Amino acid sequence: MGAKIIWWLFQSETAPPVFDGYENYAFGIGGGTDHIHMDLSTLDCIKELEKYPKPDVIFASPPCETWVNVSVGNIKKFSTKKGINQYYECRNFTPFDFKVEYKNRRLNGENTAMTTAKVIQHFKPKYWFIENGNSSLIFRFLNIRYGLNGFLNKYCYAAYGFDVWKPTIIYSNKSLFLYSKRPNRKLNLITTGNRKNKITYESCKAKGIEVFRKNDYARKSKVPPKLYQSILSQIKSTRFPLEETV
């Protein structure tokens, strides 16, 4: 029996983790080198993806900039005028509904969410997993707009070997057993510097402390490999009877 195929969508800043028995195909347009260069913001990508082995598993990490409440361009940055701020539920939205400075960012968020749903629905992998921030609106959008039904599986980076808290969600067609409790150890911050406590990126790095700059997209977007390992273990194991969505 051959290796199972994993597709990693938007995995273009860092190399995907390697697991025995799985063959990786990573797609995106980021600055990394261990991926197949492909624009996943239009449906043209489906024709291109047809050239590769059909996936058994899809992991997707679509851009979260306009979906979570800590990012520039999110819901709080748009007009609250009646009839304008319903962008994530309205099927017939147009770019004119948005403030100019956030229009392109918002539309990219909409488009990459769309292709994520359409790729999953077209290729029908046995398992699919979509990662985004704990406050992200993308899961509701995928459910309401494209009928992509799934389970909200909560976890935190710190529970899987990273030294930052970062509560996150995996939206999936499988109900997973994941850890979201803050571990009993000191955690570092995702920061550019904390003046009050005189903590800076440079001082942390000098002490060997793992800390991220806010604009360090590659490191911030890297999902803990131990999380993927846990998910794949649950896929294989009969100890975890994973519930499926209809």
- Could you give all domains of the chain from N- to C-terminal order, each with its CATH number? 4-177+224-236 (3.40.50.150)
Give residue 48's pLDDT band: very low, low, confident or very high (50, 70, 90): very high
Cβ(103)–Cβ(110) below 8 Å: no
Residue 64 has a pLDDT of 83
Distance CA 112, CA 243 (A): 27
Q: Which residue has the tokens 């059909």?
A: 54
Most trustworthy range by pLDDT among 138-142, 188-192, 238-242:
138-142
Can you give the pTM of this predicted structure? 0.76
Q: How confident is the model at residue 84 (pLDDT cuts 50, 70, 90)?
A: very low
Taking alpha carbons only, the member of 83, 188, 87, 106 closest to residue 145 is: 87
Q: What is the pLDDT of residue 56?
A: 95
Judge whether 174 and 148 are in contact, CB under 8 Å: no
User: What angle separates helix 138-146 from helix 100-123, to the nearest 10 degrees?
Assistant: 60
CB atoms near residue 26 (< 10 Å): 21
Please report the pLDDT score of residue 34 as a whole number: 78
- Tokens representing residue 189 in the block: 């911050």
Residue with tokens 């970062």: 166
